[in-house]
Amino acid sequence: MTTKIVSINKRSSIYFNLFFSPLIFFICAFYFSIGFAKAPPESFADLSDQVSSSVVNIASTVTSENAPLNEFPQFPPGSPFEEFFKDFMDKGPARRPSQSLGSGFIISKEGLIVTNNHVIANASSITVVLHDGTSLQAKLIGADTKTDLAVLKVKTDLDLKAVSWGNSDKIKVGNWAMAIGNPFGLVNTVTVGIVSARARDINAGPFDDFIQTDASINRGNSGGPLFNLDGQVIGVNTAIYSPSGGSVGIGFAIPSALAKNVVGQLNKHGRTIRGWLGVRIQTVTEDLAESLGLDRAYGALVATTLPGSPAEKSGIKPGDIILEFDGKRVDKMRTLPKLVAETKVGKKVTIKIWRFQKLISKKVLLGRLESSGEFKAEKENKSDDIKTTKIENLKILVRNLNKDDISKRELPKNTTGVVVTEILQGSPLIFVSVNDVIVELQKKKVVNSNQFSKLVNETISKGAKTLYLAIYNSRNQRSYITVKLK
C-alpha cells in the first residue's frame, strides 16, 4: 500500500511539472515585467488637470519708433501706381506697437513666473493671462540672454497654483514628456511625446545642454514647461528645428538642472552670478590626443589665457588640456564652460591638466564672469550691433544683423546684413519696412552698417539711378527689389 501511494505521488509530480511549471513560469515572468517595465499611461488627462492651471500665456508689447503705418504693395519700377500709393498711403512716421506671444509657468504662490528671455525682450509692457482668462500686468525681475531665461512677477489676490522642478539629470531617453503652452495663440494646448535625446548642442549659446523631445512644440510654446509623468518641470521649451516653420517633431527644452539655478539667481539678484576661469578653449581632436600622449580625445585644450584672469594667476598655460574641474570630468570641450559657470564665485577649485604627457593639478580661485574684462568686451560688441547708423542717401537708419536675429528669425546661419530700424520721411525705399534685413546691394554681399554705408555712397557716386537690393522681409521671405533714386 505504501509503495502504491509513492508511485502515485511520483506520477502526480510528473504531471505537475509538465503542466503547472510552465504556467507558474509565465505568471512570474508577467509580474516581473510589470515591476521593471512600466506600462504606458492609459491617458494623460489626470496629469493635464493637475498642472494646466500653473501654465500661463504671455503677451509682450514692443513699440517700434517711427515705423511706417502702412506697407506698400510692390509694383514694377516706374509704374504709375508707385507715386499714387506713395502719396495716398505715406502718412509720415508713427509709433507702431507689435506683440509677441509666448508661454510661461508659475513657480511660487507669490506670483513668480518663468519664461524665455526672447519672449519678453525689449518689451514696453508684459501681460500674463492665467488659466481662467484673468489678465495681469507683469514686472520683469531679471533675464539672462546666455540661457534665454527670464523671471516675471505678478501681483494678485488669487490663489495661484505653482509647479515644482523635477530633476532633469535623472531623465532617460524614451521617458514620457508633456508640453503645455500657447502655440499660435491657441491657449492651453497639451502635447505629448518622449525625451528623444539629452545634452543636445544646437549652437544657441555657451551653455547649450538641451533636452530634445518629439512632443509637438510650435511658435508660442516658447517659455512653457515640459513635464514628466509626476507633474514636475524637467525643461523649459525654447526652440524647434523646422525647415517649414511648424513642428516636425524636433523640439528643444532647457533642462531643469540648469534652469532652476539660473532662475534662482535672477529671483535673488535680478541677474546671474557665474564663475569665471578666463581661458579660451578648443576641441581636443584624435590627432591632438595622440600627439600629446592622451589615451583618447577628451578634455578642453587651452588656446589662450586672458591677462589677469584666475587661470593665468594659477599658472595654467596655453597648450594645457583641462581634464577635470572641481572633481568633475571634462568629457568634451563644451562641458568646461558649463562647469565653471555653475561653480560659486570665489570658490577655490582643483583643476587637473595634461601637460608634457603628465597629469598635474592647479588650485584656482574663481572670479566672476559678469565683472570680467571678457564679459565687458562681449557686451561692448553687442552694443555695436545695437548701435544704429544713418544712411543719408536712403534716409533710413540701420544696425548690424546679429546672432540673436539670425536665431530668432531662423535665417541661414551664414547670413550677414543690416536690419532697418527706422525709415525717415522722403526715403526712396518705399517697398522696405522696419525690421527688414538688407543682405545685398548691387549683387554685393552686405556685411555690416559701415560697409553698407560705403557701398551705397560708392554706387551713387558712380551715377547709378537704380539700386538693386536683396532683402528678407518680416516674414523672412527673401526677395529682390529695385529702388529708383530721385
Q: 141: pLDDT confidence band, cut at 50, 70 and 90? A: very high
pLDDT of amino acid 429: 85
Please indicate whether residue 131 is annotated as part of the active site. Answer: no
- The residue-averaged pLDDT of 279-288 equals 88
Catalytic residue among 60, 118, 256, 427: 118
Residue 331 half-sphere exposure toward CB, CA atoms < 13 A: 2
- Rounded Cα distance between 419 and 438, Å, is 6
Please indicate whether residue 79 is annotated as part of the active site. Answer: no
pLDDT of amino acid 86: 52
Cβ-based neighbours of 375, under 8 Å, separated by 6 or more: 276, 369
Yes or no: say if 56 and 134 are a contact pair by the CB < 8 Å rule: no
Q: 11: pLDDT confidence band, cut at 50, 70 and 90? A: very low
Please indicate whether residue 118 is annotated as part of the active site. Answer: yes
pTM: 0.63
Chain-centroid distance of CA 356 in Å reads 39
* Stretch among 16-30, 350-364, 415-429 having the lowest mean pLDDT: 16-30
- The residue-averaged pLDDT of 251-269 equals 93
- Rounded Cα distance between 445 and 469, Å, is 10
Yes or no: say if 148 and 116 are a contact pair by the CB < 8 Å rule: yes
CA angle at 231 for the pair 227 and 237, rounded to the nearest 5°:
20
Cβ count near 341 (within 10 Å): 21
For 171-207, write each residue's pLDDT tens digit.
999 999 999 999 988 999 999 999 999 988 887 777 8
Catalytic residue among 100, 168, 196, 222: 222
Catalytic residue among 144, 148, 214, 320: 148
**At 151, is the secondary structure helix, strand, or coil?**
strand
Q: 78: pLDDT confidence band, cut at 50, 70 and 90? A: low
Residue 63, pLDDT above cutoff 80 = no
- Rounded Cα distance between 318 and 439, Å, is 38
